[in-house]
Structure 1
């Protein structure tokens, strides 16, 4: 059990899962923190703004607080309040309570609406700063509030030295706690979902890597298989020559010719393999203007090759204007399709190669009257080393790399290549670039 767990933890899938999971977790933590900060600012910003506005017009609030206690000028016990009734309180900001303190820190107005804050002591350590506060009422309930304390100096009320403006935020705080609970709950749910998403993405991201690995493995195996045969032939031929040291070149001309054929095959195979390997890293087409005569020159060469092979070639150049493409890649693509048609048609073979342009596309169509391709083979003919007729030799059937190269060229030129049946027999390859 432990060994199995260790293997899973050390696997590439777990590594990918851990990376995705860490990213999702970081995102949700950052999002939750930002949302909570924004919520807190939004909930309390209006309260703090009202407190700041009250501070800016503190004289009105002090007069309002005194008006609730004294209606006329009063002298007694050395305390004098000179309240001017003509100074009407300014009620710009509502829901603001005010506590007035003397120089000893005693509350001067602990009556009426301010009774709930009668136990709030003076704190001069944070003057002009908005501070969070909390107190317990006579009913045993906890009340939260924001307050700001300022220093007061006025001849109208010389005994008032400090004023504290307070706003009850208990309801806002309860609402904020509910919002926080809901937000965290939602984030936790999505975080749990992210675990499943991480598992899925870990497997999904590894899928192309595994496919690429399997293709690479198959490619190496097929390449080794293709190289093994010519190497074995060369070895046998050379050993045969070594056993006949007195023979002349003429006596061994057949063995030498066969060896040279295998060397040529190996050279062609390694060249194709190198091309495939380079193009796996990506092709960078060099797009340039191509005139219609370029196609005619290629068709002229194909006619001679077909005539030498005893086949009929019909080239139809229907390009009526200059078009843009990569000359080298386009010529190689056309040659691969033509060579494929030559190989897979009989002695009475006929190849019709059509090239035409539309408003947005260049279309290549190669039709032959060969034996055709079965439906199950059509899905595989672009795979490397795949040959429809397994009985064909490399001399007549090639290595099965041509169409794979053709597909790479088509993709680099941002086109498509399809294969379909010809009527009454044969195959049509159609490329749209």
Structure 2
């Protein structure tokens, strides 16, 4: 069950994160694509405007139709810091070089209305077949899109990506081409990067999710196991008195002619086990009420010293009857904030527990004192003590270190669980210290209320 729960948690987590990553990657790619496309079109339009301008007209002088542009100046290749500038670098007034404002390779084709090449211009030497292939790509797009004035497009040719803009003119078309392989490479690399990063992140997230899923499920598994144990223990506790009641009832029914007085023993057994069941159900109901009413109970400042004494005094006679010595030391007027009746119940549980397990001719010691800003109650008893492996679990419901001894002394393992629940509600601390063969000491630490005696 828990394995299925963990796997379901992993699947939901991975699907959710994958969707978020995909949305993020698509958003980033879309924004990047739009930016690259916008910058490409701006640069392409600048190149197109150049060929439409006066320098474009100068560029055409000395150019034979259908051939690459070779200026009459006959200048060779120059380097202007932006890369090579080949044939077709012109100088305007003042000696400034005038070239198409492009950081990429670009060229122009002039056609008539029937899309026949009438003129070409390029900064670099290109074969005639290349112009023809490029024009065919544009003609294919034009056939599918129709003649709709100025338009842009993009195609791949011989492993290079080209963007173009078509400007219709009165006697034909002017098509300007620009190499955008670098820009397309950015987008392609972005996709590869997203794919690699996404896969890597999913692997990392899988192991992280698995780790946190196990940690998250651990308390659920523990609570489930405790619940199963609780049901099993409660059933066991109820099973024994029910069996006794059932057996004694059968005895009574089998001897119907007997008087009530002669059957009194069986009736006492039934009453005793009924009271035992009543005590168990009351304790279970009290624990449930404690869990459900943590925020509704009224806490006030009360005298902790008086509360301890009010429990000890009625118990003295019972303790002495069991031949157990009692010693106590209580600092006066120690005030705490909480519910006095609940704290008295904690004191009674600890004192009753100490008396039960102190052993023959044992001793019980109670101290209440101020310790820094806290009140510390300690209830000690002689006896066999508690093994170290049991100290952390003795406050669990129905937990017993020795079931046979617990049955002998009575109770059903809920007293210390009730005490811990009450102390937790008061934001205090309860714990035990023990050494086997030397008895045990239970401690309750509560915060001092304002106005306590120094």
State whether TM-score is above 0.5: yes
The equivalent of 2:294 in structure 1 is 284
Q: Do the aligned residues in 2 keep the contact of 1:350 with 1:369 (CA within 8 Å)?
A: yes
Does 1:144 find its partner at 2:154?
no
Relative to structure 1, the CA distance from residue 219 to residue 320 in structure 2 (aligned partners, 3 Å threshold; closer, same or farther) is closer
* Cα deviation digits, residues 252-304 of structure 1 (max 9, x gap): 4444333322211110011223344566x6662447653242x2342232122
Q: Given that residues 107 and 121 in structure 2 are in contact (C-alpha distance below 8 angstroms), is that contact kept between their aligned partners in structure 1?
A: no
Structure 1 spans left out of the alignment, 5+ residues:
1-10, 72-84, 153-157
Match of 2:252 among 241, 261, 284: 241
User: Is 2:317 aligned against 1:308?
Assistant: yes
Question: Scaled by the length of structure 2, what TM-score is found?
Answer: 0.69
Task: Please list the CA deviations of residues 108-145 of structure 1 after superposition, one character each: whole Å capped at 9, or x if unmatched.
Answer: 651222776732436466766664322x2xxxx22113
Per the alignment, do residues 90 and 218 of structure 1 end up closer, same or farther by CA in structure 2, a change over 3 Å counting? Answer: same
Distance in 2 separating the partners of 1:47 and 1:93: 15
The corresponding residue for 1:266 is 277
3-state SS of paired residue (1:392) = helix
Partner of 2:386: 373
Aligned partner (choices 217, 220, 229) of residue 218 of structure 1: 229
Change over 3 Å in CA distance of 1:237–1:306 after alignment to 2: same
What is the CA distance between 1:68 and its match in structure 2?
Answer: 1.4
Shift of 1:401: 1.4
SS in 1 for 2:399: coil
Which residue in 1 is equivalent to 2:364? 350
Partner of 2:71: none
Partner of residue 421 from structure 1, selected from 405, 420, 434: 434
The corresponding residue for 2:192 is 181
Aligned positions of 1:398-409 closer than 5 A: 398-409=411-422
Deviations 1:367-420, CA, capped at 9 Å, x for gaps:
334442222332432233233343436573411111223334444555543211
Cα deviation, residue 199, structure 1: 6.3
1:133/1:144 contact within 8 Å kept: yes
Find the counterpart in structure 2 of residue 386 from structure 1. 399
Gap regions ≥5 residues in structure 2 = 63-91, 447-454
Equivalent of 1:133 in 151, 155, 171: 155
| Superposition pairs of residues 146-185 of structure 1, within 5 angstroms | 146-149=163-166, 164=175, 166-185=177-196
Is the 1:319–1:357 contact (alpha carbons within 8 Å) kept by the matching residues of 2?
A: no
Q: How far did 1:350 drift?
A: 2.4
Q: Is the 8 A contact 1:133 1:145 kept in 2?
A: yes
Contact 1:415-1:432 within 8 A present in 2 as well: yes
- Pick from 34, 42, 51: which aligns with 2:24? 34
Q: 1: distance between equivalents of 2:2 and 2:104?
A: 62
Q: Name the SS for the 1:291 alignment partner.
A: strand
Provide the C-alpha distance between the structure 2 equivalents of 1:378 and 1:263, rounded to a whole number of angstroms.
32
How far apart, in 2, do the equivalents of 1:30 and 1:128 lie? 39
Q: Report the 3-state secondary structure (helix = DSSP H, G, I; strand = E; otherwise coil) of the residue aligned with 1:387.
A: coil
Normalised TM-score (structure 1): 0.72
Show the counterpart of 1:110: 120
Indicate the residue corresponding to 2:59 in structure 1.
68
Superposition deviation, residue 337 in structure 1: 2.6
SS in 1 for 2:120: coil
Contact 1:417 1:432 in 2 (8 A): yes
Distance in 2 (alpha carbons) for counterparts of 1:204 and 1:210:
10
Answering whether residue 74 of structure 2 is matched by residue 52 of structure 1, we say no
Q: C-alpha separation between the residues in 1 aligned to 2:259 and 2:204?
A: 80
Aligned partners of 2:396, 2:241: CA distance in 1, in Å? 22
1:351–1:369 CA contact under 8 A, matched in 2: no
| Residue of structure 2 in register with 1:396 after alignment | 409
SS at match of 1:110: strand
Contact 2:111 2:119 in 1 (8 A): no
Q: Distance in 2 between matches of 1:417 and 1:91?
A: 86
Q: In the alignment, is the contact (CA less than 8 A) between 2:107 and 2:122 conserved in 1?
A: no
Say if 1:54 and 1:272 are closer, same or farther in 2 by CA, change over 3 A: same
Check 1:35–1:249 CA distance in 2 against 1; reply closer, same or farther (3 A cut). Answer: same
Cα distance in 2 for partners of 1:197, 1:22 equals 14
SS where residue 405 of structure 2 aligns?
A: coil
Distance, in Å, in 2 between the alignment partners of 1:62 and 1:412 is 86
